[in-house]
Structure 1
Amino acid sequence: MRRLGDKARWYRPAAMAADFFGAAVPVGLVFDAAQQVRPVYCALAAAVAWTGIQALRRRYATRALGESRGVLPVLHDWLILIGVLAVARVVTEEDTPRLSALGALLPALLITVACHKLTYRHLSAARREAQAVSRVLVIGEPDAAEDVIAHLAARTDHPYVVVGVVPVGTGPLASGVPVAARLDADAPEAPGIDSAAVLGAVLSHHADLVLVAPGVRITGERLRRIAWALHDAGLELAVFPGLVEVSVKRLETLSAGGLAVLRVAPPVSRGVQTLLKSALDRVGAAAGLLLLSPLFLGLVLAIRFGSRGPAFYRQRRIGRDGVPFVMWKFRTMVVDADARKAELAGANENDGLMFKMRRDPRVTRVGRLLRRTSLDELPQLVNVLIGDMSLVGPRPPLPDEVAQYDEVELRRLTVRPGMTGLWQISGRSDLSWDETIQLDLQYVDNWSFTSDVDVMGRTLRAVVDGRGAY
């Protein structure tokens, strides 16, 4: 099992080489073509500035390499580069045309993003094979420790592999993770016993990190003494605060009277970001309808000639705050599909409230192609334009599904449903019901305008891949 510090050795040199030459070569070529006096020096200056900014922002640190495929952090770094070089341009009185200089720096952004995506995909594949991981020892009351272990085991998009557990008390454990030691359920009168037991467990299981799930039997003083022992031994300690699917962007650490406080910011529900989302929805929908109108005509003809019935299908869905609306799609099923749904109920392949079949006999030949390519969703641009839906959001549910929602599931109705969302880029119909709800709640609680832009960018790949579309 490869440790976290044992990520593939080529990550850092590949990242640094991509940044250096991705800036140097285009700048050198463009400045030479513009007959700049010192194109080589300008190329070297751009390359050193770009790699320097990346280094100062710790993009080459072992913890950061391969951990992100996002475009926005790189874009932020690139804008810093533009600012630094703009100042250098004024100081040196360099006279290459501004647009040419800006264009010369664009490949650096694109190459760095491509390198990040490459290392991210390689690292994700390695972690599915239990490589490049951090060995974790979990400490907590049995129920709390079991919850942490189950949550970490259910996903592979993180570096943690639990190798042992130190339960506080005598309660049973069903996870199958080895019990490395046990701590007294009561607050210990001899704190050194706790420290010795934890250190022994860390050494015997070769753990890299101790993760504590606090409870009533792990007091602040007890935790502090364990932390002292671990830190004195050069080991790391992390504390799980009990929050699930909360973006780190919403978390802020504070100190109040010597107490470490974790502030959780409320989800974004108003302000500039919501105005930007609304503007993007309306402008994007209008532009899409205009540009795709020839495609719409071709699909209408294909559907009408392919089977009897109208080209469009209207269905009642539930929108924001439980308000119903009529959703538009291209028809992919036979005209009496809704009437035949009851007789197929026993063949439902979804484990929750949604109805899904891989080989649904009601789907037409043209409909299968439309579903595979997600072209059947395009008429929902009309719903986005009139404000019933958004370009990005949770899947719009049916009324009979909402009628069975519990309090947790109803929270997904606090935002407008979307044409695409985390559910689409994460597997669509291949997801279980619990996974779908989890992704929707993650979107609702952690939404930002930049996250919408990221989802839209990743949707294209999901549509091309077609995984889970049926």
Structure 2
Amino acid sequence: MTFIRPSISDETSSERMGGKDGWSLKYQRRLFLTDAFVVSVTMVLAHAVRFGWDPIAPVVGTSAPTYWLVSLAIALLWILQLGWTRSREARILGHGPQEFQRVVNASWLTFAIIAIVGFLTQWQISRGYLLFAIPLGTAVLVLYRAAWRHWVHAQRDNGELQAQVLVVGPVRTVEQMVRRLNRARRAGLHVVGVATPPGLSLSGAETVVGVPYVGSVDNAVDQARAVGAEYILLAGSDAMSLAESRRLGWSLEDTEIGLIVAPSLVDVAGPRVQMSPVEGLPLMYVETPIFAGFKYWVKAVFDRAVAAALLIASAIPMAIIGLVVKFSSPGPVLFRQQRIGQNMHPFLMLKFRSMHADAEQRLEDLIDANDGDGALFKMRDDPRVTGPGRFLRRFSLDELPQLINVLKGDMSMVGPRPPLPREIAEWDERVGRRQLVKPGITGLWQVSGRSDLPWDQAVLLDLYYTENWSLGGDVVILLRTFLAVFARRGAY
């Protein structure tokens, strides 16, 4: 059977991910240089802060080396750990928390090894020196990685840094997968062809959802190579028997073509999922989401602690903003609006007023100019916004009073967007599940595009967060929020 390689859309790059000329190796080299730079500077600063610029300050202990040798050893070990923990692995770059988690793991493994060496040799390595270097270096590494991720997102939005994939599965499942990946370019998977399981064929079909159809999977390797695929994505794996799936995996050995399996159960990840091999079967155990208990108590304590610290730190800027709002246009300094919180309980959300006092009364006149979709009203050039209000919105400064809502327990630092009562009337039961947790000042919706996101995609992000949140994930979202605010993407 002869396969013809289809032309790839000009909107998406055909550059391969793997290989010596692939984009992943180039990007990993950049990450390595960044990691080496951050770790080196961190160790130099730690030495200078603790011992001044004396390069031969000795470690206390028998046959102990000087601190410049210790700094060099820690830097080399740290850089190697960032590689050993696979923090630069291409498949985790650009999405999910795994990259950041592996960076943190590499840092603490480095700390643990140094502590063990110090214990075994009886070298008394300064704790102040280590407690300055490791946390500071970890924080800067995470921030650098977040900045790189922002660059990756920008590249993927332009169709770059994609892995070419052949999607295999039943027609309806394939159609849904292709549409989903086409909407989510930041996933980094560009569909270059589709195929159906053995025994299923679409007679006379040349494309599926605009993607070339290569037929039933009877020679997976040749079909993948014909369309330039680096991965075969098995969508809805229940459409293929265990023997067929096993043979597919065997056929990809020594071909440099990878296999991705997308189970029928979607939008479930993180701590709820555990993989366990049973009789050769990779079974995925999915815990039922629980919306109360100890981890929610921890989240509440974390929220209030962060909100209190941010309120203290921003007290003077908030006072200045309040004066600007007060004297820039008639009306109150704070805008109070009823929103719907956890379990559909209403509350008054606080914001600095960024619109003229009659904004609510003028809303009906602007409905036809809505730039949003679904239940949201969004307008890029809203005439109701004041001059200072436009600046406040650009940098999300109008939302600072919501820290008070967090202290009161109405909101969380991270969570789904707090909806208006009129929006709920247009929801179905599925969307209502986002109210099982407290709404947040920030969330996946904000760090993923904010007002630029279509309604359906924003809902999917909120639902995903609701059922899969973790405290570590909240910390990552908070860090990403600072980048999103400074980038001003989707803020209007």
- Give the counterpart of 1:204 among 219, 223, 226: 226
Q: Residues 219 and 393 (structure 1 numbering): CA distance in 2 closer, same or farther, change over 3 Å? A: same
Deviates more, 1:92-101 or 1:136-145: 92-101
**2:73 is the alignment partner of 1:45:** yes
1:318 offset after TM fit, Å? 0.8
1:111 offset after TM fit, Å? 5.4
Partner of 1:421: 443
- Please state whether the residue corresponding to 1:338 is helix, strand or coil: coil
Q: Write the mapping of 1:227-238 to structure 2, written as runs, cut at 5 A.
A: 227-231=249-253, 235-238=257-260
Partner of 1:191: none
Partner of 1:151: 180
CA RMSD of aligned residues (A): 2.9
1:254 offset after TM fit, Å? 2.1
Contact 1:136 1:162 in 2 (8 A): yes
**2:183 is the alignment partner of 1:170:** no
Deviations 1:207-266 (A, max 9, x none): 222122236653333333333333375643332212333325432222334433222233
Deviates more, 1:107-116 or 1:41-50: 107-116
Partner of 2:218: 195
Deviates more, 1:170-179 or 1:156-165: 170-179
Contact 1:246 1:446 in 2 (8 A): yes
Give the distance between the partners of 1:65 and 1:328, measured in 2 at CA. Answer: 36
1:298 offset after TM fit, Å? 2.7
Give the distance between the partners of 2:335 and 2:140, measured in 1 at CA. Answer: 43
**2:404 is the alignment partner of 1:388:** no
Deviations 1:52-100 (A, max 9, x none): 3233323355555677785443222211111110111222332343202
**2:132 is the alignment partner of 1:103:** yes
Give the distance between the partners of 2:34 and 2:487, measured in 1 at CA. Answer: 27
1:177 offset after TM fit, Å? 0.9
Q: Write the mapping of 1:35-434 to structure 2, written as runs, cut at 5 A.
A: 35-36=57-58, 37-61=65-89, 63=91, 71-106=100-135, 108-110=137-139, 112-113=141-142, 116-117=145-146, 119-128=148-157, 130-167=159-196, 168-170=200-202, 174-181=208-215, 183=216, 195-196=218-219, 198-214=220-236, 217-231=239-253, 235-267=257-289, 269-434=291-456
- Please state whether the residue corresponding to 2:194 is helix, strand or coil: strand
Q: Write the mapping of 1:445-460 to structure 2, written as runs, cut at 5 A.
A: 445-460=467-482
Partner of 1:4: 17
1:326 offset after TM fit, Å? 1.5
Give the distance between the partners of 1:40 and 1:226, measured in 2 at CA. Answer: 53
1:427 offset after TM fit, Å? 2.2
Deviations 1:325-367 (A, max 9, x none): 1222222222222222122211211111111212222222232
Contact 2:447 2:477 in 1 (8 A): yes
1:300 offset after TM fit, Å? 2.9
Contact 2:194 2:208 in 1 (8 A): no
- Please state whether the residue corresponding to 1:103 is helix, strand or coil: helix
- Please state whether the residue corresponding to 1:157 is helix, strand or coil: helix
1:150 offset after TM fit, Å? 1.1
Give the distance between the partners of 2:403 and 2:90, measured in 1 at CA. Answer: 43
The one-letter code sitting in structure 1 at the alignment partner of 2:214 is A
The one-letter code sitting in structure 1 at the alignment partner of 2:319 is L
Contact 1:15 1:115 in 2 (8 A): no
Deviations 1:371-427 (A, max 9, x none): 223222122222211111111111111111111210111111111111111222222
- Please state whether the residue corresponding to 1:361 is helix, strand or coil: coil
The one-letter code sitting in structure 2 at the alignment partner of 1:457 is L
Deviations 1:273-329 (A, max 9, x none): 322210122223333334433333333332222222222222111111111112222
Give the distance between the partners of 1:58 and 1:233, measured in 2 at CA. Answer: 22
Give the distance between the partners of 1:359 and 1:436, measured in 2 at CA. Answer: 21
The one-letter code sitting in structure 1 at the alignment partner of 2:209 is S
Deviations 1:172-205 (A, max 9, x none): 6541111112x3xxxxxxxxxx533x34312322
1:16 offset after TM fit, Å? 4.2
Give the distance between the partners of 1:260 and 1:121, measured in 2 at CA. Answer: 34
Partner of 1:186: none
The one-letter code sitting in structure 2 at the alignment partner of 1:2 is E
Q: Residues 26 and 438 (structure 1 numbering): CA distance in 2 closer, same or farther, change over 3 Å? A: closer
- Please state whether the residue corresponding to 1:238 is helix, strand or coil: strand
Give the distance between the partners of 1:45 and 1:3, measured in 2 at CA. Answer: 36
- Please state whether the residue corresponding to 1:180 is helix, strand or coil: strand
1:139 offset after TM fit, Å? 1.5
Q: Residues 382 and 113 (structure 1 numbering): CA distance in 2 closer, same or farther, change over 3 Å? A: closer
Return the TM-score normalized by structure 1.
0.87
- Please state whether the residue corresponding to 1:337 is helix, strand or coil: coil
The one-letter code sitting in structure 1 at the alignment partner of 2:278 is A
Give the distance between the partners of 1:288 and 1:118, measured in 2 at CA. Answer: 22
Number of residue pairs the alignment of both structures matches: 458
Which consecutive unaligned segments of at least 5 residues does structure 1 have?
184-193
Contact 2:85 2:102 in 1 (8 A): no
The one-letter code sitting in structure 1 at the alignment partner of 2:186 is D
The one-letter code sitting in structure 2 at the alignment partner of 1:149 is V
Return the TM-score normalized by structure 2.
0.83
Deviates more, 1:136-145 or 1:372-381: 372-381
Give the distance between the partners of 1:427 and 1:62, measured in 2 at CA. Answer: 23
Q: Residues 63 and 338 (structure 1 numbering): CA distance in 2 closer, same or farther, change over 3 Å? A: closer
Q: Residues 110 and 284 (structure 1 numbering): CA distance in 2 closer, same or farther, change over 3 Å? A: closer
Q: Residues 273 and 100 (structure 1 numbering): CA distance in 2 closer, same or farther, change over 3 Å? A: same
Give the distance between the partners of 2:132 and 2:187, measured in 1 at CA. Answer: 36
Give the distance between the partners of 2:415 and 2:259, measured in 1 at CA. Answer: 36
